[in-house]
Structure formats: structure tokens, C-alpha cells
Structure 1
């Protein structure tokens, strides 16, 4: 089940708090895909852009054809000059003559008159976000300054065919704000929504076992050959880092360098990692408040306040009603311990207001948190844009089979020993994952999918100090077996620093220019956010 949408920019905290329904959407370990509903089918600004080549290229069982730009959920001006087409590949390479699927491709040209020959390939997060829809983020960060940027929809995502979307799950996630987060009755409804999604996608003929990292990595390897690119660079955000690390192991040929931001190591992915990441991100924010005299004086000992609130709300949930911006209809919101943990995991993107929000809740005023929580989950931009087929394909074949229930629970207890067992049973943003995967019913991936990536490909490992979804400790972890890795922690930033930090953008662009010596000088001038001080 796709969890809470994530606000796009932490620096817009005040606007987001005032109008939470306007925040951007995402899935589990992504952050930042702004995708309103009301999809356009090939009618956006990129339609009809010049083709990548004048003839289709085929290799093995994959085929590239120039054509219109892929559909996007909203018009994207950055695709206006893109060269576009589709890559057709076997749905399941174990059956190369079976069903075939198509993946949308957009190549955003470099700004420079004489671009470098090695383009940058953008790997979206999720799992389940569509890379083509993130063109604005890639271009806004300057990636196409002197290199083309290639965006291809991962299999099953919005601009692919088939697109394995399940709006019913998205709608249930919105309704669930009025339910006790981790109650058995909520679990039954949650799993029923997942089962309905699976049954519908399987009824369309999709081989749900073929939506995974092994197939996706092969899709990108085929694309490189199809486009006639000798060498290229990968840049993955959030779950895209998971795919990048798998690609470095399975298809290292042609990889000049790899950037990963918001790092999710395949060897550790799962509930225990979600808990340790939450602890790391929360602590980063709490420590930043403690170092500011005004914040520390007004909100002393925030970690204890937060953990006390989790225990109290789990024992006795609070029910309130709120009104969201642009909608006069009151919304019922139930806050229990699990809901508060998941709100906090998202709220590190709007860090300035977190201490004040927790303080108001502690003094009997839940509306501020309830309004944010409901606004994020009821955001209409999050309906029907994420590929739950790819989400569960990854979770249920690559994560759950290789992490026991006891290991997941132990990971939660190690991170938050004071939390009740009912809270620890559901890792942040992975609620009811095991029963979901029981009904998704796909076979486990080969155990080698969990192997550590060992490589001498130059790698930039970026993390944010407030990242509560993929903790910054993952950077040094993956770098242990990447002999030419540069580890960078950008302080005071949430998940996916490229989306929020000009400094991270500068470091990333410099990395692709000099993969073994990126310019990190901007880190010395960074300052913590100024936390809100309430009355």
C-alpha cells in the first residue's frame, strides 16, 4: 500500500502548512514527484518533439522507435524540446517471445552548444514513480547544463504501457486518515484494497512477477544499446538508488559514473532499515533544534516529548476534524502512535514547523498535525499516478522474502525501545507489508538480489542530515565496497537533497564533470533552518 505523499520543498514549509492539499506526491522512499490527476495522453508540450533517430533500432528482443513524447500527468515545459520515443521489451525475459511492453523515453537536450558525449540517465524513486514526470526536477537542478538527460519510464509506471496503476489504493489511503492507523480492522480494509488492485492488474494480463529490479536494469541496458550510446552516467534518487546499485552489479558495461541520492541499499532494504532511518532523521532534526537557543528554550527535550506522545496516542488515540484548503467539508482525522510516527517521517521535509507542531499536540491541540497529515494523504494529485504494480513487485519479491518478522521487529525495537509493540509491528511507510505481500503472491527474487554492490565505477553517495526515509548512514555503508566513492552528507536537508538543496545540485553537476573530485566547497556555508517559535 502506497504510504503518505511527501511535500516537494522543505523551504516552502509555511505555504505547505497553510495549504496542505497542494503538496506533491510520492511513494515510499521517494519524495518529490509532483503529478496531479487528469492525465494528458501525448498532448503536453513535448509531443511531436524531434525524434532521437530517423529509424528504429532493434537489438535482441528489444526495439526502440522514435515518436511522440510520453504522456505526463501535467504539462511539463522542460519536455518541449525533448527527443522522444518508446522502447519495446519482453515483459518477462525468461519468455522472450511472450508478451511485450513499451516504455516511454524522453531525451532532454543539453543547454550547451557542444554537449559532452556521455548523457545522464535519471532513475526515479518510489518504487513506482515515473522518470518522465520528473523532468522539471532534473532540469531545474542543472543536470542538462552540458549533457543530455535521458528519462525513461520504468516498467509499469505512468507513461509505460501497461501502466500498473491502482487509484483504489490511493483513495483508500486518503480515507484511512479517519481510521486507527494500525488497528486489525484497518488492516483488513488495507489488504482488501491491495487484493483488489492485484486482481485487477492480473486480470489485464500483467505478469506481476516481472516487475522488479532485474528486469528494469536490463531495460536500461537495452536502451543504451538501442540509442547507440557508448558510455553514460546514472543518477538515481530514493528507490532509484536501489535500481542504480543493482545496475552497477548486473550491467556495469557502459557506466562512466553513478550518482545516488537518498540511498536505499538492496542488501539492507526493508522494515528494519526504515526504522533506523527514521531514528537517524528524527535525531538530526531534534539536535538542530537543541542547538538553537530559542528553539531549545521553548521546546526542551523534544525526543522525550515525541516518544511520550507516541505511547500516549497509541494507548488512547485522538480524534479531531479539520478543514483543508479549498474544501469546506470537514475531514475526520484519527491520530494514534503509528500515525504520529508516519507523520513525523514525512514532516522532516517541513522541518521548521515540527517542534511547534509537537508542542501543540502535547498541549491538547492536534489540529496542526491533523491538517498536515490529512492534506498529504488526501491530496488529489496523488490519485492514479503511482505504479503499485512495480511497488509491490519490488517489496514482495526482493524485500519481504529476505527479512523475517522477528528481524523487522528487532529493528524497530533497537531504534525506538520505548515504543509499544503495536507501533513497532508496522515500520514507517511500510504498513501491513507482510499481509500485503501474501495477497500479492509473487515468487521471491534470486537471493543474489540482496548482494552488496562491489564496483570501481566512480560514485557520488549523497544523503541529507534530516533524511528519515533512507538515513544518511547508508552513504558510508555502500561506500565500503565502492572503491571510488565520494560520500557527501548535506546537513539540515530531508530525503533527496537534489530536490531541496542548491548546494547538493552544485555538487552533483560538478561530480559528473569530475567523477573522482566533485566540488563540495558549498557545504561549509550551510546553516540550519530557523525553527518556528509559537506562543
Structure 2
């Protein structure tokens, strides 16, 4: 009994000492411009922790934390979300969690892990942009790798100059951060929800601090860090093969995109000879140009396999590369840049500390060499070996820091897995389940890619799992669909591509002249309609021309908005290509409106312009502004 009390006392003293090294401070919202987030019941914090948990009295770092309070009084154990990457942002996605099903009965704890997002220090926040500029250039794969190593090492040196302890950015440090945060928030246990690389962090945390975990949710899971890079090419080929097979078995897809596999590999060969250069906004690439070579093409298709909606348009996209459709490929550049939005200082600290040292480059190359037509795997990933080889020079990387993910603890585990996922494929889910002895459920999304939990169905399944309710077939029915809804019958239209790109990138005031002009046209339509049906007024040819011109412009605008809205609801990625062919009449309407506008302009100028110059100048200006926008877009 005395021994037991002694250990209790020692544990208490240790806890007091540990808590003295951390500090939780309430702060204002990280989104002061967002009225929605400011009004919501969210507590925002800065959490100070030791950078090196083995030297708790030395340098401190600051983690950004958000606690979204449960919407009901009957609270259950909180959920802590662990982002992937490594280097992904968490708190920047707070808006996603506002109405998440989990929030009904649970507080949701979001943490920008050390070196990410709003946490400090920020580790080379512009490194991703530098990588993108390297990719945009028309240069050899070898030069790309040399440039990537150069800017990465500059980042490393910059962090060292700031006093950053590079070896302290790893999964064990994250586990200590989470354990300390749980304690300071006064939480007994919480549900740990990790996605992608966050599943590796989550499993490490659950192994080191099993008493913290109520349940474990692993979305797109990693089962063994030593295979994370080694099997990369093999996993990509698995997903590609499934794509080719699914399209071939779909009559419409096979008819519109025949010999998809052959086209994919032939395009690699063509791009090795003649890359494709497209013009892009200088805010994306300072040079205003992006050149797709074979490696860019391979990684663009690989990244597209992450997303269900993109999977549905992949045959169309592969054919746009084949046909060298520069307008579509220019629009793709912005989406492609999102793949490099990670905090790359954090990424390489983690990757070079605890991933690359356990992955064998010779084995990676050996596996890649089995796929001759792919010609060397993916240099986008292989180059990380080059970076880490230089990054870890003269550093003592202790392999003993890596721990087995085998876990005998009794908490429930849910694993979500996408059938087309090219980085953590379906067989990873089965292997991950072997890390746990019992109480493991696997949910497969056969036509999905990466991150099933970001869908409504995934969110509902996770809520039922956390609340110990059955995951029924009705909940899984969306995931159980096994046929990909490939998008066919798409009319390519550069006007739609450019217009939607401007809508997403331009400031709202850019469209003010267009909106005002459309309102003027609406007034013209109402006025001429009144004159036509008025018994007191006699209509002439100019009235009818103004009526027809305004009517076609209004119908065109309404049809275009309806087509875009319908496409947004169906698959918004289609807007990077054009519109489904059922909306082809919209483009004919625009040509008709342009023809009528020219005829009306000429007749008005000849017949009645001098009678009321200010009035007709206003009409000419309004109609001219509308056509200026649409002709500039390429309609």
C-alpha cells in the first residue's frame, strides 16, 4: 500500500513538473474577418510547449488550437483531429467543422501541429511556391531535382539560423504535444481522428499514450512507415490499372475515350519529346508560364486519383493532354498548385527524421523498374530521397525513435479506405487492421480516392462509430457503389474555362460593370415589352430589335448560370473543360445575341440615335460591356 502511494505521489509530481513546462492562453479568433466564425462558440488558444521534450526547460514553441464546442449540453468525449501531409494545415479548415455531424454531441479539438498553419515558428512557408516554380520550368528531371535539393537545403539552413531543433519535429514530439494538450484542457479521454500521414501520427500517439484514447479513426491509413515510399510506384500503378479497367468496362467511357491505357503511356513518351507550355496568371507562377513535361503529367494524374470527382473526369483529362488542349491545361495549373500547399519545412523535418531513413531507395528503384512504360516511377517522390540524403548529412538520425504500430489496447478502431487511393491504397487498410487485435471496422469506398471522412457519408459513419452506434448499409450505400460515374458528352469550351477561372480568382468588384450592364438590359427588356403590349403606343422596328436583343441576352445569361450551377452540383471539375453537351444551346444563344446586338446597333445608329443620344449611348455601352466580357472570355 505504501509503495502504491509512493508511485501515485511520484506520478503527481511528474505531472506538475510537466504542466509547468506548458502554457495554454486564450486568444482572439484566427479569422477576425469571418463573421460566421467570430459568432460561433469556439475557443481559440495558443499552447506553449517545449520544442524538445527531452529538454523541457529550453526553447518553447507555440501551437495554434481551436476548440469547437458541442452544440448540445449532453457532451460526450471530445474528438481531436490530426492532419496529414506531413505539413498539412488544420485550423485553416475550421469552417469545414462548423456543422460537422460529430459536433452535435462532441467538442472538436483542432491543432495546427508544430511547424504548420498558425503555429510558430513557421518553417519555410514559401518553400512550396519555390517547388512550384521549379516544376513550371522547361528543364530536365535532373535539373528539377538539383533545384529542389538546393532550395530545400536553403530552408534547412534558414531554420537552423533561427535556432530550430530540426530533430524535434517528429511523431513522438507530436504525441507529447497532444498528451499535454489533453491534460491542460482537462480531458480524460478523447477520440483520435487522423487522416493520411495523420494516421501514422495517431497510431504512434495511441501506442505511447494508450490511456488518452477512447477510440481511433484512421482515414487513408499508413500501416508501416517503411513501405510509405518504397511501394509508391506500385500503388500508383494499382490505381491507374483500376481506372483503365473501369473505363474499358463502361460502354460510354470506352467509346468516348478508347484505348485509355495506351493513350496515357503514349502521352508520357510524347511529353518527353515535346512538353506543353501554357500561359497562366502571374499570381500563380511569376513567369506567367507553366510547362508540362512527362513528370508533371504523371504527378498531375496521380494527384487526381486522390479525389472521387477528379477520378470521374480523369479519362477526359488524359485525352486533353493527348490533344494538347492548352486552355484546359492552363486551368489545371491552379488546381495542381494546391498539391504543394503543405508547410514544407515541417514536411522535410518529419520525412527526413522518420520516413526516408526507413525506406530503401534501391528497393524503390527496383519496384519502379518493373513498370517500364512509366519510365522511372514518380520523380516528385523519388527526389525526396535526394533531399533527405543531403538534409541528414552530419546528423545522427536514430532509428530507435521509430516504434512498432502494433497495439494491443482495447479501444475501438475505424479504418476508412478509398478504392482508387494512389498513396494509401485499399490493401493498406487491411494491413493496418493487423496492427490491432480486435474491435476493428473497415469501410471501403470503392470509387473513392483519399480522405473519405471529408464526405458527408464519411462524416456520418464516423459519428456513428464514435457514438458506438451501428454503421448500417444505408450509411454505407454511397460508398458501396462500385461503378465510377465517368463524365462523357462534355463540350469543351475555353470561354467557360476562362470565365469560371476569373470568377474564382478575380475580386468581386471586377464584375460590377457586367452586373450593372445586365441590369440595364433587364430594364430595356421590361420597357420594350411594355411598349409592345401597350395599346397607347405604336411599336416600330427599333423597339422590336431592342426587345429581341435584350431577351436573347437575358435568356443566354440565365441559361449559362443554370448550366454552371447544374455542373457545379454534378461535378465542379467539369468547369475546367466546358459544359455537358445538353447546354450547347447556350453557346448558340450567345452567337444569336451578338448578331442581334450588331444589327440593333446599326439600325439604331441610322434611324433614331440623334433623337435621344444619352439614352442610346447608355444602351450601346451596357450591351457593349456585356459582349466585352464574354468575347474576352472566348465565347
> Structure 1 length normalisation: TM-score?
0.80
The question of 1:466 aligning with 2:420 is answered yes
**Which residues of 2 match residues 424-503 of structure 1 at below 5 A?**
424=377, 426=379, 429-441=380-392, 442-447=395-400, 449=402, 451-455=404-408, 456-482=410-436, 483-499=438-454, 501-503=455-457
- 2:180 paired residue among 212, 216, 222: 222
Do the aligned residues in 1 keep the contact of 2:43 with 2:68 (CA within 8 Å)? Answer: yes
Q: CA deviation at 1:495?
A: 1.1
- Aligned residue in 2 for 1:311: 269
Give, in whole Å, the separation in 2 of the partners of 1:477 and 1:301: 33
Q: CA deviation at 1:323?
A: 3.9
* 1:324–1:493 distance in 2 versus 1, CA, 3 Å: farther
- 1:156 paired residue among 84, 104, 115: 115
Unaligned residue ranges in structure 2 (runs of 5+): 1-15, 492-635
Give, in whole Å, the separation in 2 of the partners of 1:451 and 1:494: 27
- Aligned residue in 2 for 1:196: 154
The question of 1:388 aligning with 2:348 is answered no
Do the aligned residues in 1 keep the contact of 2:313 with 2:486 (CA within 8 Å)? Answer: no
Deviates most, 490-499 or 71-80: 71-80
- Aligned residue in 2 for 1:238: 196
CA offsets per residue over residues 467-496 of structure 1, 9 Å max, x none?
A: 223212211110012122111111222211
* 1:272–1:243 distance in 2 versus 1, CA, 3 Å: same
Superposition CA RMSD, Å:
2.8
- Aligned residue in 1 for 2:618: none
Give, in whole Å, the separation in 2 of the partners of 1:126 and 1:217: 16
- Aligned residue in 1 for 2:354: 398
Give, in whole Å, the separation in 2 of the partners of 1:298 and 1:346: 23
Give, in whole Å, the separation in 1 of the partners of 2:227 and 2:369: 17
Give, in whole Å, the separation in 2 of the partners of 1:322 and 1:305: 24
- What is the aligned length? 465
Do the aligned residues in 2 keep the contact of 1:111 with 1:144 (CA within 8 Å)? Answer: yes
Q: CA deviation at 1:132?
A: 1.7
The question of 1:273 aligning with 2:231 is answered yes
Do the aligned residues in 2 keep the contact of 1:313 with 1:335 (CA within 8 Å)? Answer: yes
- Aligned residue in 2 for 1:524: 477
CA offsets per residue over residues 308-339 of structure 1, 9 Å max, x none?
A: 3223423x142322345999998433222211
Q: CA deviation at 1:141?
A: 3.5
- Aligned residue in 1 for 2:278: 321
CA offsets per residue over residues 169-218 of structure 1, 9 Å max, x none?
A: 22222323432475222222211111111111111111111111110111
Do the aligned residues in 2 keep the contact of 1:241 with 1:260 (CA within 8 Å)? Answer: yes
* 1:265–1:481 distance in 2 versus 1, CA, 3 Å: closer
* 1:75–1:446 distance in 2 versus 1, CA, 3 Å: farther
Give, in whole Å, the separation in 2 of the partners of 1:92 and 1:328: 37
Q: CA deviation at 1:268?
A: 3.5
Deviates most, 470-479 or 138-147: 138-147
Do the aligned residues in 1 keep the contact of 2:24 with 2:46 (CA within 8 Å)? Answer: yes
- Aligned residue in 2 for 1:32: none
CA offsets per residue over residues 420-478 of structure 1, 9 Å max, x none?
A: 23xx262xx42511221133235424345152332342111101122223212211110
Q: CA deviation at 1:300?
A: 2.7
Deviates most, 478-487 or 269-278: 269-278
Q: What SS does the corresponding residue of 2:84 show, helix, strand or coil? A: coil
- 1:510 paired residue among 464, 467, 471: 464
- 2:363 paired residue among 398, 404, 407: 407
Structure showing greater relative contact order (alpha-carbon pairs closer than 8 Å, 6 or more residues apart): 1
Give, in whole Å, the separation in 2 of the partners of 1:115 and 1:425: 46
* 1:329–1:186 distance in 2 versus 1, CA, 3 Å: closer
Do the aligned residues in 1 keep the contact of 2:196 with 2:451 (CA within 8 Å)? Answer: yes
* 1:74–1:270 distance in 2 versus 1, CA, 3 Å: farther
* 1:318–1:140 distance in 2 versus 1, CA, 3 Å: farther
CA offsets per residue over residues 3-58 of structure 1, 9 Å max, x none?
A: xxxxxxxxxxxxxxxxxxxxxxxxxxxxxxxxxxxxxxxxxxxxxxxxxxxxxx97
* 1:267–1:159 distance in 2 versus 1, CA, 3 Å: same
> Structure 2 length normalisation: TM-score?
0.68
* 1:72–1:273 distance in 2 versus 1, CA, 3 Å: farther
Give, in whole Å, the separation in 1 of the partners of 2:227 and 2:30: 31
* 1:386–1:420 distance in 2 versus 1, CA, 3 Å: closer
* 1:319–1:204 distance in 2 versus 1, CA, 3 Å: same
Do the aligned residues in 2 keep the contact of 1:125 with 1:236 (CA within 8 Å)? Answer: yes
Larger Rg over CA atoms: 2
CA offsets per residue over residues 61-92 of structure 1, 9 Å max, x none?
A: 54232311463698483463212322221111
Give, in whole Å, the separation in 1 of the partners of 2:35 and 2:451: 21
Unaligned residue ranges in structure 1 (runs of 5+): 1-56
Give, in whole Å, the separation in 2 of the partners of 1:145 and 1:278: 38
Q: What SS does the corresponding residue of 1:272 show, helix, strand or coil? A: coil
Q: CA deviation at 1:524?
A: 2.9
Q: CA deviation at 1:240?
A: 1.0
Do the aligned residues in 2 keep the contact of 1:194 with 1:439 (CA within 8 Å)? Answer: no
Q: What SS does the corresponding residue of 1:282 show, helix, strand or coil? A: helix
Do the aligned residues in 2 keep the contact of 1:511 with 1:519 (CA within 8 Å)? Answer: no
Do the aligned residues in 2 keep the contact of 1:126 with 1:238 (CA within 8 Å)? Answer: yes
- Aligned residue in 1 for 2:74: 114
Give, in whole Å, the separation in 2 of the partners of 1:236 and 1:387: 18
